A and B are shown apart, each in its own frame.
Chain A
Amino acid sequence: MYAVDAGEIGCRSRLGVGFLLASVALQNLGRREARTLLLLAAVAICSGAVFTGAVLMRSIESSMAVGFTRLGADMLIVPSGALTNITAALLTAEPTDLTLDDSVLANLEAIKGVQKAAPQLVFRTDASGYRGGETIDVIAFDPAHDFTVQPWLDQHLGRPIRKGDVIVGGRRDEALGAELLLFGWPLAVYGKLGKTGVGTHERALFMTFETLSEMRLTMQQICGARAPLEPNKVSGALLELAPGATTQQVRFAILANFPGVKVVSGESMLTSIRQGLGALLNGALALMAIMFVSAALMLSVLFSAIIAERKRELGLLRAIGARRRQIIGMLLTEAGLATAIGGLVGVVLGLFLMRVYEHSLVYYLDGMGIPFVWLNGWTTGLIAVLCVVLTSLTGAAGALYPAWRASALEPYALIRSEG
């Protein structure tokens, strides 16, 4: 009798009116292909830009956070005549034969505002006998106080560092566990540092003061009586300030208590980097907010036009019993769906853009020794989801006012509209 079966009726009847109105919304998008495509493209560009910007900014932020952590030292104490390189100073003292007594350093941690003091001894030599007279910087550090060498440890053997171990800089090619002969002493390569971009740091051999002490006599015999090889001497100390301590206060206290030392502070550079980065991130954030507001305005204008041409349809729905909130819900669903799809497309485009970034910018920076840390997959995924949700909400927000206005009209006024 009818071209219908019970199963089909059952299936259709189980779908709620919300689903039906949502499907009407979706099909309405399909009715105007060109306009829908333009809408999707506009939203996708906006969403893609925001997604890419957010991920890149967060990546830069976390890269810098890692960088600041690794830079570690807020101050460096060296003998007053020592030359210092401000960039290198934050990781290690420069190779010099000027030294300080380690007794000076023993009292540094007692200075108010000093949280950590990490002594280092840097000794440059071309007489180690290693690799046919290669000039090598040997840097001795104290593992218990160190905070500028070990945070950079990229690979290491599965045990704690011990006497007779050496850690190689990021640009050295010794393999983990390999044995090398320095001043005739066999040393095991315990670990390798990541690339720091600081030459001294990247090409040096790092060992504990304990190891150096054991080799000291041999080194003195080979290199002669050089100051850094005398007992209880250090080239300097890297300081980490306590929270709330200012460099000015600590500098004043150190200079007052320890004559003959020079205090090098990296704060001005770090501060400018932090402030510059902060301004950049705030600017990017403001741009993203402006982008979303302009997208909401654009969508509002667009949906005003879309709703205006569908007034008769809305009037008919109202006439047969649709409530105002159902009409508003249907229109917001339509806007939300369209912009969510656009947002998703934008995120995919953004991922593609970032692949391009990965193959150009990141490798370029990495080659210069600037580490770039991509956000992990979860965070990137979370930003992607947030971006799609935010885009969808922006679309719905843009459609809210025209939808609310249309739903407020009398059904007869809507029906009489040209549609």
Chain B
Amino acid sequence: MTLSCVDLVKTYAAERGAIEAVRGIDLEVQAGEFTSIVGRSGSGKSSFLAMIGGLSRPSRGSVRIGDIDIWALSDDRLADFRNRRIGFVYQFASLLPTLRIIDNVVLPARLDPERDVAAAFRRGCELLDQLGLSDYLYAYPSEISSGEQRRAVIARALINEPALLLADEPTSDLDEVSETQIVDWFRGLNRERALTLIVVTHNLRLAEQTDRVIHISDGRLAA
């Protein structure tokens, strides 16, 4: 699924005046491409990712995923689009602490009324098994390590078989072993499932594994 964005701008209102986090980015990512976005802290990477993921409305510009202009969708339709077509992995623990791991993983499927929930549970179990978490299906997030939590988040991101996976610093705060596992996983997903992956990272080792590295500096694509 091709992603294209045109003249993306994001301005935040702040006490000291408007802050332009993203200053007009044009980008096209082909279906099945594994892309990394790198840049210094505060360069606008995460804001850019939020706009292409349908999480933050651009101040200007448009985002098309496939043939859909996502910011032209209603709030409910956009929520459905995120649920069915986009998977998210964040840099922080993003599992609901009150749900068991399997329930966290299957939650996106249960939010979709058209999905076969029993099939989603089976798929959730398979994903967790593939990620080495089959012993923790009924554990609560607080009972597993941060690396294991990150893997559970990846399983959740994949439960609805999205066309696009967006990850924001997916390896931050992880030990080397966990980091390597996640990098390998992303690479495998991209090759085996032709999943389009866009990863925001500071991790050069992860960036080196991607098909394309995009530099963002001061809200713009760097040359």
Contacts and interface: CB of A to CB of B under 8 A. Distances in A.
A27 interface: yes
B185 interface: no
Interface of A: 1-4, 9-10, 12-13, 16-17, 20, 23-24, 27-28, 31, 312-313, 315-324, 326, 410-413, 415
Nearest to A27: B98
B192 interface: no
A413 B135 contact: no
B97 interface: yes
A416 to B, nearest CB: 8
A12 B103 contact: yes
Contacts of B126: 2
Given A317-B96, A321-B82, 16 more contacts: A3-B134, A3-B135, A13-B117, A17-B111, A313-B96, A316-B94, A319-B88, A320-B88, A321-B80, A322-B79, A323-B75, A323-B76, A324-B75, A410-B55, A411-B50, A412-B55
B195 to A, nearest CB: 17
B79 A318 contact: yes
Interface in B72-126: 75-76, 79-80, 82-84, 88, 90, 92, 94, 96-99, 102-103, 106-108, 110-113, 117-118, 120-122, 125-126
A24 B98 CA distance: 6
A3 B137 CA distance: 7
B79 A323 contact: yes
B161 to A, nearest CB: 13
Given A27-B98, A410-B57, A320 B83 contact: yes
Nearest to A16: B110
B163 to A, nearest CB: 14
10 contacts: A9-B125, A17-B113, A312-B92, A317-B96, A321-B112, A322-B111, A323-B76, A324-B76, A411-B55, A412-B50
Contact of A321 (B83, B102, B118): B83
B173 interface: no
Given A321-B112, A410-B56, A410-B57, A415 B83 contact: no
